Amino acid sequence: MIKQQPPAEAALVTGPESQSGPAADTSAIIRLVDLRKSFGRLSVLRGISIDFPAGKTTVVLGPSGCGKSVMLKHIVGLLKPDYGEVWFEDKRIDTLSESRLGPFRRQFGFLFQQGALFDSMSVRDNVGFPLLEHTQMTAAQREGRVREVLTMVGLADALDKMPADLSGGQRKRVALARAIVLQPKVILYDEPTTGLDPIRADVINELILKLQRQLRMTSIVVTHDLISAFKVADLTIMLHEGKVIFQGTPQELRESPDPIVQRFLRGEASEAELAGIEGVGIDIHGSGQASSPRSSGATKKVRRSR
């Protein structure tokens, strides 16, 4: 179930009347139009077109290497497309210089996969760093804002701790506090639950829901954590081999007849993906003799641990 994608020509700016792009979805805060990106001979994004609705949580799913994180970096301007367009509200931003891109970047909060905290800074200084860099706030105003966002993520008592003193889940929450400290319109989450146990992962999921509900922020969550995806998503999108193969609600995703979608949901490898390991023996006894390949009658399903 994929929405009709607009042709690349439809979003070309041809005059003042088309600054927001012809046939644009007026509810979309971010639009990607026929986005393509390659690194050398590796084609990562192969013409993706997506409208991200304002005030909603969109979850982008897909196997490792399908282009999810590369897509996020295009949205925030860390990468430039080889072809295609990136729109924020009514402004095309992929063609902007670094200096002109700055004000738009400050409309985005980015929760990096590993948190990306400064190891040599306290929690207070980590969270307050964007305020110091991008605002004219006084020290007292910065302190108040830092305390406010740390309270929001449940870490009001962690101000003077160092990142090394925190658990993995706490570091993610500090990084999330830093991501929202400038009150952005959009938060980008890159694998927010990676490396966390199920309970700590659920805390992050609840925070995503809380921020979307209380602050009315637009959220884009890149993940392959299905539990997280079905809990937080208003809209789900699936990428496969650099293309959009599904867009719809979480329920529509569950009911999709697409075999690629269903294999992903069940955690099953395809025949092609298993072909590379068929017949490869492993010496499990240290005898110098590789074990024999599994019989042709063996099951070809590999289920992901949940």
User: What pLDDT does residue 116 have?
Assistant: 79
* Cβ neighbours for 77, distance < 8 A, ≥ 6 positions apart: 86, 93, 94, 96, 101, 104, 105
User: What pLDDT does residue 114 have?
Assistant: 67
- The average confidence (pLDDT) of the chain is 82
User: What pLDDT does residue 8 have?
Assistant: 33
CB 146 within 8 A of CB 128: yes
pLDDT at 143 over 70: yes
Query: What is the DSSP code string of 116-162?
Result: ---TTS-HHHHHHHHHHHH----HHHHHHHHHHHHHHTT-GGGTT--
Helix (H) or strand (E) holding 205: helix 198-215
Q: Which of 184-188, 201-205, 284-288, 295-299 has the weakest average pLDDT?
A: 295-299
Q: Which of 141-145, 171-175, 298-302 has the weakest average pLDDT?
A: 298-302
CB 246 within 8 A of CB 256: yes
Supply the Cα-derived Rg of the chain in whole angstroms: 22
pTM of the model: 0.78
pLDDT at 172 over 90: no
Nearest Cα to Cα of residue 113 among 57, 52, 195, 28: 195
- Measure the CA–CA gap between 306 and 303, rounded to whole angstroms: 9
Using pLDDT thresholds of 50, 70 and 90, give the confidence band for residue 9.
very low
Helix (H) or strand (E) holding 49: strand 42-53
Per-residue pLDDT of 37-89, as tens digits, reads: 999 999 999 999 999 999 999 999 988 888 898 999 999 999 999 999 999 99
Nearest Cα to Cα of residue 87 among 139, 132, 26, 134: 26
Residues 224-235: what's their mean pLDDT? 93
